[in-house]
Amino acid sequence: MPHVPVLTISSLTKPQVEEILALAQDLKRDRAKYSQCMAQKTLLMFFEKPSLRTRVSFEVGMTQMGGHAIYYDVSTSPLGKKESASDTAKVFSRYCEVAIGRLNDRKLVRELAANATIPFVNALDDFAHPTQMLADLLTILENKGSLSEVKMAYLGDLENNVTYDLMRSAALMGFQLQVSGPNTPEAEVMEEVARLCQVSGATVRLEPNPQAAVRGVDVVYTDSWMSYGVPAATMEARIQMFTPYRVTPELMALAKPDAIFMNCLPAARGMEQTASVVDGPQSVVFDEAENRLHAHKALLVWLLDAQPTDGRRAAL
């Protein structure tokens, strides 16, 4: 595979995303087939933000495929302080085969990726969350059979990494997305999404009315109102701002009867959704969380062109 730094979901082309999803489906069916794909390979993981799903899924994934993962805690060994981020990237590229970063600042992620000579993946920053998107797309594919005819609604905070990459995902893969919230995505994101939509034929638009946004959709998605890094002192103000966009049973009833509910987790019951929604029969949030493992394994295999060598490669 080419050296591809994955900074947003749109760092990949539509065919590349489809290849990774096909790999994810195959390795989910046959874990043993991929058990030595990462033998003698090391993943370096930079973490500045707290993590459950990202850290555990990447670490478990490397172990299941015969490789090794190193957790690098940025709080105890700061990046770009004693040594420049560019020098750090050049050094770890001599040691490891692939690296990820779950960091606060998009500038730092970009600097590491620009100077690494190995694949570098943004595992979440303030601008994108491409690894979550692969798991989300896999979950939608499993439940709806394809992506091309999907209609999705996102409700809540429109100024966060998940929203931005959901918009890019729809625009890249060619499905419909309506986002509804009290704030507005960054202009840079809106411009990129418009360009992607021109190519794919997708429709991504802002819908101020949450009821209109969810009417007749296949997928309803929400995310935390208090993302990592949001000051706790702003909680009351944010609750007031976002409460009209809470996903309730009444809102879900406006979607298609077989619509699924998604949240990338963690979920705060009584905040971005009610408990009856996130714990209800339409919720696929734990399937979505599990798919982080399969999607991350597939991404690593794809980036390192490390499919099984016994002739049993996934049909892409």
Contact 37, 308 (CB under 8 A): yes
Residue type, 112: L
DSSP-derived 3-state class of residue 187: helix
The two structure tokens encoding residue 7: 């900074």
The CA–CA distances, whole Å, from 176 to 22, 28, 113, 182, 192 equal 22, 27, 31, 20, 16
134 conformational bin, left if phi > 0, alpha if psi -120 to 50, beta if neither:
alpha
Q: How far is CA 210 from the centre of its chain?
A: 23
Catalytic-role residue among 53, 168, 246, 292: 292
- Residue position matching structure tokens 């959901």: 166
Task: State the CB neighbour count (10 A cutoff) for residue 312.
Answer: 11
Among candidate residues 25, 96, 129, 165, the one labeled active-site is 129
C-alpha 169 chain-centroid distance: 9
Alpha helical stretches, state H, 215-274: 235-242, 249-252
* Catalytic (active site) residue 218: no
Task: Please identify which of the residues 37, 53, 102, 197 carries the catalytic annotation.
Answer: 102
Q: Among this protein's residues, is 73 annotated catalytic?
A: no
Choosing from 37, 53, 96, 132, the catalytic residue is 132
Conformation bin of residue 203: beta by default, left when phi > 0, alpha when psi is -120 to 50: beta
| Active site annotation includes 223 | yes
Active site residue 292: yes
Catalytic annotation, pick one of 136, 223, 273, 296: 223
Catalogue the active-site residues.
102, 129, 132, 223, 264, 292
